[in-house]
Amino acid sequence: MQELAKQYSPTSVESTWYERWMAAQIFAIPEQLPKGKTPFSILMPPPNVTGMLTMGHVLNHSIQDLYIRYKRMCGFQAVWFPGLDHAGIATQSKVEGMLRETEGIGRRDLGREKFVERVYEWKEKYGGIILQQLRRLGNSCDWDRTLFTMDEGANRAVEETFIRLFDAGLIYRGKRIINWSPVMQSALSDEEVIMREQTDKMVTLKYHFEDGGGFMSVATVRPETIFGDVAVAVHPKDDRYSAFVGKTVRVPLTDRYVPIIADDYVEKDFGTGCLKITPAHDPNDFEVGQRHNLPILVSITADAKLNELAGPYNGLDRFDARKRIMKDLEAAELIVKSEDYTHKVGYSERGGEVVEPYYSDQWFVSMKVLAEPALKAVQEGSVRFYPEHWTKTYEHWMTNIRDWCISRQLWWGHRIPVYYAPDGRFTAAHSEQEARTKLGLDDSISMIRDEDSVDTWFSSWLWMLTTMHWLDDGITEDTSLLRSYLPTDLLVTGPDIIFFWVARMIMASLYFKNQVPFRDVYFTSIIRDGDGRKMSKSLGNSPDPLFLFDKYGADAVRYTTLYLAPLGLDVKVNVVDDNGKADAPQMEFGRNFANKIWNAARFLHMKASEAGMSSNAQSMPEEEWSAADRWILSRFHSTIHAVHEHLGAYRITEYTRALYDFIWKDFCDWYVEIMKVQFAEREDPAYRQSLMRFALDLFEGALALLHPVMPFITEEIWHVIGDRADDRFLAASALPAFDAQRVDTARERRFELLQQIVDELRMLKSQSGIKPGQKLPLYLRCAEDDKEFFGAVASVIASLTRNELPQFLAEGQQPESALSSVVRGVDLFLVAESVIDHDKERERLTKELERLQNLQRSAEQKLGNERFVANAKQEVVDAERTKLQSAVDGIAKIQDALSRLAS
């Protein structure tokens, strides 16, 4: 048997076992579900191809891996489908940035084809690093099934779904006001815009009447848009202005005159009650303009500069222009007033710049038809959310859903499969030829393909289909993977992508496959730093998980993260600086736990070898079991039960706590200490070996239960203490079976009494300033029924409290000059003549007396209440009676001890 280091060092253990698991292919599953196997499947939310592992991933993936490993060990055919997202905007902007920096060129300098080539090159070089990082975390995915959203098969599926939706009239092209990113030069969906509150100047401008005689006061926070003004609107029922409707006013700083119109959209009570209408640069104004047949004047360019309509401001950036215009307005005395105004402004989720409402041609998915069944699926429980309250958010979004702008003016992504004929007609098709056929055009006519790409999420929403090879070959819709593993069982993701991804997957799955994509959705916590801020690279408050793995071990990071992260709540992780790196010292918790487990294993290993145990030693027969053996067995089976209960209900923190308590408190603090006594008391090797076998079985069972959250250390120890071959794996083993017969609450309760007595004796010693190692004579008086029990555990009490073997007192007997106490009717005396500090002892006894008197009072009060006795459950009333009785007994004994002290 090998010697084990005193401290557990995770680094080499973790890499070794991951390699062995991979080599043995224990995470790989067959395409066809084997007969008799029940599937359990999870779709990994594909990380961005450019992504780096974050604490968010750690939380997310630890949960997924926990369930995959747990279900695998429960005998399911467990499969975790991994993948990568091409992340259109994120990746393109990263590569564009790199090109600009290193070569000083833009994408347009290269042209589409060359640029996309460069992105692919870049992806080959740097992409997918995160998948390696996920291996460090221990993810037990079926890596052979890794899918990239721009793989051939996925491309086909994207194209096919676009064409089908187009043909069904659910994808359409329209000229609308959309969210425009001037940096990316692309449209964004509503979901990609973050509204942030900020304070800007709101200026009230003078729009002078064309026929003289004063002006209309119009407020705006965007004076640079006045060049796109086409009207001033007032409310139809606003008496102040009704006389002016139909007149024309002059747009400030221009020679243009625009009409005053009346429209319900205007709020009478806001500002001056007059609203400038700029259809090209505000979605609401656009609608007002449509109603009144107003022209659309575009005065801002795609890169957010003013154009020729702005006269002298032509070519100025929108924000520079604003400043200049403000100044000029002031000089021209066109400002009524200017005041601070707090409002929300849309920012691009990716680039962080202010989004510009922009009038352009885009592609949209009509969402109503898709949303209806998807809403129903959640309301009827075909898909369940954890925590459940997210269904409200989901319902609200789904019932107020707006069409999805899917076109992006990007080159990195899936190109829209639409072809335009010279006559202006267009259609979606797999090829130019097919497009011609669809439109009934002659082969000689050449068509032009749409330049745009689709939103990244337009491929992600097919994830449950593409990972399982739907239309992979362009033909087969019903693959064996889909038959075997769809619907998947669990999706683990952050609530921030409930609209982006979760809702849309439900829609796509129901529309294209008429099945829900998953049964349960677990929404994770959001990890924040100690000050409650979201972790982000720019704040430097985001620890690099790889650094944490190196410092604490991946097991420790997984364990601590899950221990800290309750279902559906934000979780705060303290972040401190460690030589310039962000560190999360709370991870010590998991590291210490790992070390504790390691040392428990060391102890068992050592004792087993001391007992000369061989691998075929039998466990103790039942008749040999001591009270402690039975107790730990009962606790063990209670823990198995708790593990299934907690994980079944997604109470993951409870699961981690249950194992912490069992392993550290029950097994290490109590059982191991008792084992030492039992081991020392009987020297015969047969007993010792059988005891060690018994303890090892339990410990290995606990390792199995812990494996889903701490896969590496459990695998390592399982091999070391079991002396197992390298090609056998805990990861591929079964969890210990739960046996309800072994749970004995009465026995657990009696053992708790023993624990309380030990605690009390330790406290007596410690509080009286007696050295822990000083052995004192110990006397004990208990009920006749308990004598056998206490007789059996006498040596345990002596050893754990480091006193002499307890002697039993008869009624009335009393040692002189002893520290005394009473625990649930059991009298305790520690004889310590020379060391008793009488004042201290009196103080302690008085305190205890008070506590018991309070207990007595509260019990008497309750029992004196007829309604309590009549209404409460019998066992509650009985417990109260017992409590009262033991308080009364205790009081008498304490008073007696006090009087002895006085004498």
Q: Which is nearer to RNA, 31 or 200 (CB)?
A: 200
Q: Which is nearer to RNA, 129 or 677 (CB)?
A: 677
Bridge partners of 174, per DSSP, are 362
Write out the two tokens for 119: 């992105």
Nearest to 511 by CA among 402, 366, 373, 368: 373
Report the SS3 class of residue 563: helix
Distance CA 251, CA 489 (A): 61
837's CB contacts (< 8 A; 6+ apart) are 768, 769
Q: Which is nearer to RNA, 132 or 766 (CB)?
A: 766
Q: Which is nearer to RNA, 437 or 882 (CB)?
A: 882
Q: Which is nearer to RNA, 21 or 499 (CB)?
A: 499
Q: Which is nearer to RNA, 219 or 468 (CB)?
A: 219
How many other CB atoms sit within 10 Å of the CB of residue 878? 11
Q: Which is nearer to RNA, 415 or 646 (CB)?
A: 646
Q: Which is nearer to RNA, 476 or 882 (CB)?
A: 882
Bridge partners of 302, per DSSP, are none
Closest approach, Cβ 615 to RNA, in A, equals 21
679: enclosing H helix or E strand:
helix 673-681
Distance CA 398, CA 371 (A): 6
How many other CB atoms sit within 10 Å of the CB of residue 781? 22
- Any idea which residue has 């259809």 for tokens? 279
C-alpha 492: how far from its chain's center? 7
209's CB contacts (< 8 A; 6+ apart) are 215, 216, 244, 247, 248, 249, 250
Q: Which is nearer to RNA, 566 or 722 (CB)?
A: 566
Q: Which is nearer to RNA, 673 or 804 (CB)?
A: 673
Q: Which is nearer to RNA, 80 or 563 (CB)?
A: 563
Closest approach, Cβ 108 to RNA, in A, equals 32
Nearest to 165 by CA among 403, 383, 6, 386: 403
Cβ contact 619:697 at 8 Å: yes
Closest approach, Cβ 135 to RNA, in A, equals 22
Q: Which is nearer to RNA, 416 or 535 (CB)?
A: 535
Write out the two tokens for 124: 């080959």
Nearest to 563 by CA among 544, 587, 532, 547: 587
**Helix, strand and coil percent figures for the chain, each rounded to 5:** 50, 20, 35
Closest approach, Cβ 571 to RNA, in A, equals 5
Closest approach, Cβ 422 to RNA, in A, equals 38
Q: CA triplet 417, 419, 420: central angle to 5 degrees?
A: 150
Closest approach, Cβ 874 to RNA, in A, equals 10
Q: Which is nearer to RNA, 274 or 776 (CB)?
A: 274
Cβ contact 690:620 at 8 Å: yes
Closest approach, Cβ 98 to RNA, in A, equals 29
Q: Which is nearer to RNA, 122 or 227 (CB)?
A: 227
Write out the two tokens for 205: 């401008």
Q: Which is nearer to RNA, 60 or 488 (CB)?
A: 60
DSSP state of 507: H
Distance CA 395, CA 387 (A): 14
C-alpha 495: how far from its chain's center? 8
Nearest to 362 by CA among 190, 238, 206, 213: 190
**Is the four-CA dihedral 185, 190, 195, 200 of positive or negative sign?**
positive
Q: Could you tell me where the DSSP H helices lie in 768-837?
A: 787-792, 794-801
Closest approach, Cβ 596 to RNA, in A, equals 5
Sheet arrangement for strand 186-188:
186-188, 171-181, 356-365, 404-405
Closest approach, Cβ 23 to RNA, in A, equals 28
Q: Which is nearer to RNA, 98 or 722 (CB)?
A: 722
Closest approach, Cβ 46 to RNA, in A, equals 21
Q: Is 37 exposed, middle or buried (0-12, 13-18, 19+ CB in 10 A)?
A: middle
Q: Which is nearer to RNA, 614 or 865 (CB)?
A: 865
Dihedrals φ, ψ of 329, to 5°?
A: -60, -40
Nearest to 226 by CA among 256, 266, 246: 256
Closest approach, Cβ 202 to RNA, in A, equals 7
Closest approach, Cβ 750 to RNA, in A, equals 12
Q: How many residues can be counted in the chain?
A: 903
Dihedrals φ, ψ of 111, to 5°?
A: 90, 160
Closest approach, Cβ 358 to RNA, in A, equals 15
Q: Evaluate the omega torsion of the peptide bond into residue 487 and state whether it is cis, within 30 degrees of 0.
A: yes
Closest approach, Cβ 243 to RNA, in A, equals 18
Bridge partners of 343, per DSSP, are 198
Q: Which is nearer to RNA, 37 or 802 (CB)?
A: 802
Distance CA 73, CA 640 (A): 13
Closest approach, Cβ 106 to RNA, in A, equals 31
Closest approach, Cβ 761 to RNA, in A, equals 9
End-to-end CA distance of the chain: 61
Cβ contact 779:815 at 8 Å: yes
Task: Tell me the chain's radius of gyration from C-alpha atoms.
Answer: 37
Number of H helices, E strands in the chain: 30, 31
Bridge partners of 773, per DSSP, are none
C-alpha 99: how far from its chain's center? 35
Closest approach, Cβ 890 to RNA, in A, equals 7
Closest approach, Cβ 495 to RNA, in A, equals 7
